[in-house]
Amino acid sequence: MSSKPLISFETLAEGHPYFFDTEDAPDWNVEFGNNRPIHLEIGFGTGNFLIEMAVREPQCNFVGMDFYHKGIRRVVTRVDKLLIKNIRIVYGDAREKVPALFKDGQLGGAFINFPDPWPKKRHAKRRLLKPQFIRTLSEKLVPGGIVRVATDDEPYAMEMLSYFEGEPSLKNKIAPAVFAENREDTPRTKYEKYFINAGEKIYYLDFIKE
Ligand SMILES: C[S@@+](CC[C@H](N)C(=O)[O-])C[C@H]1O[C@@H](n2cnc3c(N)ncnc32)[C@H](O)[C@@H]1O
């Protein structure tokens, strides 16, 4: 049997100037060539939301973070084809990369659309949005910056709501302890379209950094 890895890093997006597989914080203003607000999307999946946001909001910069190889290749290919200048892709686990790659107060906003719900009880500890990570995300936000989350998974939604409400530096944009009913001001993600078409309820959370 060959010892060659199934997917080699050389074939991911290594060498592409918009792709970052690094432990060290880049100087984002240099990388983007400007000091416009940076919005982070964690877990962009196939990247539709990230690309559409970047096209809609050319006055902002977007960093997408994921470890899904196929999605990364897809986004990099589309960024090249569409000549998009305001997207950068970070490879890796957000739990390590968010603290390492951004300074406190550096993010204008953060999106986490349909984080993996890990529905089995014994797997629930693998969920991304835990109090410690929510605190880290909040530290990276500029005052007034918003963290926006969407999920179809009710138990995870309830858990996240209680954790976000428990973070003193964040305030529920809608009202204490409630979900936003819908979200009309952003593009629909692949998962969002799927669950809406299936008639599922979506839970939206919008929390502002105070
Ligand atoms: C259920 S998919 C949702 C994809 C997309 N946001 C959507 O709504 O269509 C979750 C995505 O999060 C990524 N992901 C899961 N855990 C992550 C982590 N710790 N750091 C970065 N990305 C993560 C997965 O690779 C996957 O692409």
45 lines ligand 1 (CB under 6 A): yes
Residues 27, 65: one domain? Answer: yes
On whether both 178 and 138 belong to a single domain, the answer is yes
As a whole number of angstroms, the distance between CA 134 and CA 146 comes to: 12
Q: Is residue 21 part of a domain?
A: yes
Q: For ligand 1, pick from 68, 72, 190, 193 the residue to mutate: most ligand atoms within 8 Å of CB.
A: 68
**Residue 108 domain-assigned?**
yes
In a domain, 83, yes or no: yes
Residue 208 lies in a domain: yes
Residue 90 CA, ligand 1 centroid: distance in Å? 13
Q: Which position among 27, 80, 116, 153 bears the catalytic label?
A: 116
Closest listed residue to residue 54, CA positions, set 71, 76, 21: 76
Active site residue 116: yes
| Integer Cα distance of 60 and 68 in angstroms | 24
Q: Say whether 190 sits in a helix, a strand or coil.
A: helix
Residue 27, domain CATH: 3.40.50.150
- Domain count for the chain: 2
206 forms beta bridges with 148
Which of 66, 93, 120 is the last residue in one of the domains? 93
What would the two tokens of residue 190 be?
A: 């692949």
| 203 in contact with ligand 1, CB cutoff 6 A | no
49 Cβ partners below 8 Å, 6+ apart? 41, 111, 113, 186, 187, 188, 189
Domain that holds residue 191: 103-210
Tell whether 187 and 107 lie within a shared domain. yes
Tokens of 7: 């997917």
The pLDDT assigned to 11 comes to: 73
Q: What is the pTM of this model?
A: 0.95
Nearest-angstrom CA–CA distance, 170 and 168: 6
Q: Is residue 80 domain-resident?
A: yes
- Interval 160-168 mean pLDDT: 98
192 within some domain = yes
26 and 68 share one domain: yes
Question: How many residues does this entry show for the chain?
Answer: 210
The answer, yes or no, to whether any atom of ligand 1 lies below 6 A from the CB of 195, is no
Same domain, 83 and 112: no
Question: Using CA atoms, how far apart are residues 204 and 151, in angstroms rounded to an integer?
Answer: 7
pLDDT at 4 over 70: no
Pocket lining: 65 vs ligand 1, CB cutoff 6 Å: yes
Per-residue pLDDT tens for 76-134?
999 999 999 999 999 999 999 999 999 999 999 999 999 999 999 999 999 999 999 99
Q: How far apart are CA 88 and CA 193, in angstroms?
A: 25
Per-residue confidence (pLDDT) for residue 2, from 0 to 100? 45
Q: Are residue 22 and residue 108 in the same domain, yes or no?
A: no
Query: Is the beta carbon of 74 within 6 A of some atom in ligand 1?
Result: no
Please give the torsion angle defined by the CA atoms of residues 7, 48, 107 and 135, in that order, rounded to the nearest 10 degrees: -70
Q: Report if residue 98 sits inside a domain.
A: no
Helix, coil or strand: residue 50: helix
- Would you call 103 helix, strand, or coil by DSSP? coil
